[in-house]
Homo-oligomer: A and B are copies of this chain.
Amino acid sequence: MKFMTGNTKKEDLEISQILEGNLIGEKITVSGAVHTVRDMGEVAFVVLRKREGLLQTVYENNVTDVDLKDLREGTVIRAQGIVNGEDRAPNGVEVRLEHVEILAQPVEAMPLPIGKWKLKTSLEAKLNYRPVSLRNVRERAKFRLQEAIARGFRDYLHEQGFTEIHTPKIAAKSAEGGANLFRLEYFHKPAVLQQSPQFYKQMMVGVFDRVFEVAPVFRAEKHNTKRHLNEYTSLDMEMGYIDSFEDIMEMETGFLKYTVELLKKDYAKEIKMLGVEVPNADKIPVVRFDEAKKQVSEKYGHEIKNPYDLEPEEEQLIGRYYKEECDADFVFVTHYPSKKRPFYAMDDPEDTEVTLSFDLLFRGLEVTTGGQRIHDYNMLMEKMATRNMEEEGMEQYLACFKHGMPPHGGLGIGLERMTMQLLGEENVREVTLFPRDLGRLTP
């Protein structure tokens, strides 16, 4: 009888193992995709690409046992060769190719110059050739940093006693309601795609006290801006037994500090490659919504047009203000007006025109919305009545309050927006593998 035992060791060395430099003179096996070829006549430099980076290999006439013309951009090979110390090679190491096995041959030339260090191609072209453009090492590095943010979120919250949940994306109703819903037919019943796991995560606070979810959310907004997507990955958490909505901001600050350290520790290569300035999250200033508006109006002469919401320009100016005043990359803006927040938001008992809520701005862009929720059944019913809301379809959500819920709150973070601000990108699509917007439904 044959068995699997979990042996995942391979003969092929990874690029980092070869670049360590302690294998000089040894014969090794390596695999990879041909990233670039520079033919010098007698020899050719064939750069291989694999997940860990690039490796210079050397093709030599009468030494390497394939025809050089079979090593094209995109050719996938496994090769044996001798590791050679060479000061002019990146990291001082190259591999002199002896035996080459062709694993796959491309049938067409690359449509984009992915071998270039910087892929100076329009965003449109990059998205049209997504699986190709991401083979550029700087393009793909962006998504390693995105991974770090999601890992940091999960690992930190796990340490803090949160439980991971998986909630449905198709449902009869959605928490925020309104026009921005994708609708579908679910076995002859009308259904919508969830804009957020809001109802579900609150229900689960009654079960696990602290929960989180990393999952897609869907918003049929007809915005076509540089910072909107119609489908994005939301980092959601919700926590019970809070003393005030500041507990939620403290938890987010903890996550950010943790993630900054994770970035420095495990993603230093990508940070360096992209020239990313890792933000400081040790001390995040907190300012009231009305106060922040006033500050930027006074300092920068920005006219307040809408007293109930922040315009994108105001967010930018608030970011600038706190960068200038206290070198902050992040700012918590609190006490948003009640009329712009959903029914489940907890009003401030000291001024019911505003809520115990916040947004987090990162370098002048909102990346998080959060706050305390109403946990008292009667208060929730009153708020719904004030807004002329129906209970229909919300029975289970309301049941969790009927049967007792701790004071709680939570937040949602847009993963792509957070990545965009970390990288200093101008368009959120740059850091979305396969963006969904008004025009883009493929690939």
**Whole-angstrom CA separation of A62 from B15 in the bound complex:** 73
Interface size class of A (residues with CB under 8 A): 35 or more
Overall SS of chain A's interface: mixed
Contact: B208 with A140, CB < 8 Å? yes
Residue of B with least CB distance to A266:
B158
Q: Is the CB of A399 within 8 A of B131?
A: yes
Chain B nearest CB from A59 CB (Å) reads 17
Residue of B nearest to A214 (CB): B214
A228 within 8 A of B: no
Inter-subunit contact B403/A110 (CB<8 Å):
yes
Is A308 in contact with chain B by the CB < 8 A criterion?
Answer: no
Q: How far is the CA of A140 from the CA of B393 in the complex (A)?
A: 24
Stretch at the interface among A340-348, A363-371, A375-383: A375-383
Q: Which residues of chain A from 138 to 173 have a CB within 8 Å of any chain B CB?
A: 140, 143-144, 146-147, 150-151, 154, 158, 160-161, 163-173
Q: Is the CB of A2 within 8 A of B399?
A: no
A404 touches B207 (CB 8 A): no
Q: A131-B206, A164-B147, A443-B395 are in contact. Are A5 and B105 (CB under 8 A)?
A: no
Q: Which of A1-22 contact B (CB under 8 A)?
A: 1-8, 10, 12, 14
Tell yes or no: A428 within 8 A of B by CB: no
| Contact between chains at A106 and B404 (CB < 8 Å) | yes
A203 within 8 Å of B by Cβ?
yes
In the complex, identify which listed stretch (A82-90, A183-191, A298-306, A349-357) lies at the interface while the others stay far away: A183-191
B164–A182 touching, CB < 8 Å? no
Tell me if A117 counts as interface (CB < 8 A to partner B): no
Q: Which of B12, B132, B144 contacts A400 (CB 8 A)?
A: B132
When the two chains form their complex, are residues B406 and A131 in contact, meaning their CB atoms are under 8 A apart?
no
Distance in Å from the Cβ of A258 to the closest Cβ of chain B? 8
Q: Does A250 contact B (CB under 8 A)?
A: yes
Q: Which of A50, A167, A441 has the most CB of B within 10 A?
A: A441
**Measured CA separation A395–B132 after assembly (Å):** 12
Q: In the complex, how many angstroms separate the beta carbon of A429 from the nearest chain B beta carbon?
A: 12
Inter-chain contact A206/B135, CB cutoff 8 Å: yes
- Give the residue name and chain of the B residue nearest to A162 (CB): B51
In contact, B441 and A171 (Cβ under 8 angstroms): yes
Stretch from A118-126, A278-286, A312-320 contacting the other chain: A278-286
> Nearest B residue to A439 by beta-carbon distance?
B187
Alpha-carbon distance between A204 and B233 when the two chains are bound, in angstroms: 17
Is A434 an interface residue, CB under 8 A from the partner? yes
User: What is the chain B residue whose CB lies nearest that of A286?
Assistant: B2
Proximity string of chain A (255-276) to chain B, C-beta cutoff 8 Å, 1 when within and 0 when not: 0110000000000000000000
Which residues of chain B come closer than 8 Å to A441, judged between CB atoms? 170-172, 186, 189, 191
Interface residues of A in 206-240 (CB under 8 A from B): 206-210, 214-216, 218, 220, 222, 230-231, 233
Least CB separation from A135: chain B residue: B207
* A3-B283, A443-B397 as given contacts; A404 in contact with B104, CB under 8 Å: yes
Q: Could you say which residues of chain B place their CB within 8 Å of the CB of A108? A: 402-403
A10 CA to B404 CA, complexed, in Å: 22
Known contacts A4-B249, A169-B231; decide if A184 and B183 are in contact (CB<8 Å). Answer: yes
User: Is there an interface contact between B170 and A403, defined as CB atoms closer than 8 Å?
Assistant: no
Contact A170 B182 (CB under 8 A): yes
- Pairwise interchain contact A8-B396, C-beta atoms closer than 8 A: no
Whole-angstrom CA separation of A165 from B369 in the bound complex: 24
- 5 shortest interchain CB distances as A-B pairs: A396-B443, A74-B404, A6-B254, A131-B203, A184-B184
What are 5 A-B contacts defined by CB distance under 8 Å? Answer: A78-B241, A135-B403, A186-B441, A189-B441, A214-B214
Given A34-B404, A189-B441, output 12 extra A-B contacts at Cβ < 8 Å. Answer: A1-B326, A3-B283, A4-B332, A6-B256, A52-B161, A107-B377, A108-B403, A132-B400, A134-B206, A140-B207, A168-B436, A170-B230
